[in-house]
């Protein structure tokens, strides 16, 4: 297992997750405080992208582990 590659994948996944959290929180404020109906779709997309980054991280670790 290439530890440098895993560290890079983890860093990228954490950056994507942090951006997704910021976007999701902004969408919640937009949805509830400003009554923007489309903001819930942005929230759902941000959550999916955040989880997707972790799936990508785990799949990379599994693929890297396979001989």
Q: Please determine, for residue 51, whether its predicted confidence score (pLDDT) is greater than 70.
A: yes
Q: Please determine, for residue 66, whether its predicted confidence score (pLDDT) is greater than 90.
A: no
Say what the pLDDT of residue 32 is. 96
Contact 55, 47 (CB under 8 A): no
**Residue 27 exposed, middle or buried by CB count within 10 Å (0-12, 13-18, 19+):** buried
Q: Please determine, for residue 67, whether its predicted confidence score (pLDDT) is greater than 80.
A: no
Contact 17, 54 (CB under 8 A): yes
**What does the pLDDT look like over 10-50, one tens digit per residue?**
999 999 999 999 999 999 999 999 999 999 999 999 999 99
What is the number of H-type helices and E-type strands within the chain?
A: 2, 0
pTM: 0.87
Say what the pLDDT of residue 1 is. 76
């Amino acid at each position: 297992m290439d530890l440098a590659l895993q560290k890079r994948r983890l860093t990228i996944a954490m950056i994507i997750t942090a951006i997704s959290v910021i976007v999701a929180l902004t969408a919640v404020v937009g949805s509830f405080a400003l009554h923007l109906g489309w903001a819930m779709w942005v929230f759902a997309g941000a959550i999916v992208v955040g989880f997707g980054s972790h799936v990508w991280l785990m799949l990379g670790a599994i693929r890297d582990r396979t001989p």
